[in-house]
Amino acid sequence: MTLQIALLGGVVLLSVAAILVRDILKAAICLAVASLLLGILFFVLNAPYAGVFEISVVAGLITVLFIVTIALTRAEGDVRESKWVAWVFPLFFIVFLAIDLLTMKALIGKIPTLASSPEGGTFGEALWKGRTFDLVAQIGVIFAGVFAVLALFRKRSKDE
């Protein structure tokens, strides 16, 4: 339990740091470490597949994409931010934490044992047999992402 709380605390702190630090490279690294800790937390909570995906995709692949993008783009002066942004986030975060704590307190003891639910089973069964329709939607998400890149990075001809 102590390990779980320590990992969860680390995830929260590093996520907050990712938002608050000004340097986007440092923000990307904070996010990657937060994601790594979340992945470990998944392993500790007996969700190895979620852990593998979290660490390989979010902590690994997406971080590489962020860092490559940061390396390829030029800094063009500081972006001005209005002062209220510095107030709104901590305020929102405190409200969120309060709601989250109350929610979790109310949920403890009421959560049914999900493994025995009709939608349980092994990971493979759950993904390929139980959630087949989600995979169709995933194809839609991938298509949308690919075509969005094609649209946003297209070359415009002279007559346009």
Partner 1 sequence: MIFLFIALPLVVAGLLPLIGKISKKALPDILANGVFLVLLVYAGIVGKSLISQGGIVQQLVWLGEPVNIHLALDGFSLFMLFTVTLVGLCVCLYSINYMEHYGDKATYYALLLIMLAGMNGLLLVTDLFQVYIFLEVAAIASYALVAYGLGHDELEASYKYLMLSAVASAFILAAIVLIYGLTGSLGFESAAAGLRGLDARYMVGLCSAFFIFGFGLKAALIPFHAWLPDAHPSAPAPISAVLSGLLIKVSGIYALTRIFLNVLGLTPALSTILMYLGAISVVVAAFLALGQKDIKRMLAYSSISQVGYIVLGIGLGTPLGILGGLFHLLNHAVAKSLLFLNSGSIEMSTGTRNLDEMGGLAKRMPWTAGTSLVGSLSIAGVPPLGGFWSKLIIVIALIQAHHWVFALIAILASVLTLWYYLLIQRQAFFGRLNERWREVKEAPLWMTLSTVILGLLCIAFGIFFSLIVGSWIEPARDALTAGAQALLTTKGM
List residues binding partner 1 (CB under 8 A): 99, 103, 106-107, 110-114, 117-119, 129-134, 136-141, 143-145, 147-148, 150-152, 154, 156-157, 159-160
Which CB sits closer to partner 1, 71 or 109? Answer: 109
Which CB sits closer to partner 1, 61 or 137? Answer: 137
Least distance from partner 1 to the Cβ atom of residue 60, Å: 22
130 three-class SS? helix
Which CB sits closer to partner 1, 75 or 153? Answer: 153
Least distance from partner 1 to the Cβ atom of residue 102, Å: 8
Least distance from partner 1 to the Cβ atom of residue 145, Å: 6
75 three-class SS? coil
Which CB sits closer to partner 1, 2 or 108? Answer: 108
Residue 38: which of 61, 22, 65, 14 has the closest Cα? 14
Least distance from partner 1 to the Cβ atom of residue 129, Å: 6
d(CA 124, CA 110): 27
Contact call for residues 30 and 16 (beta carbons, < 8 A): no
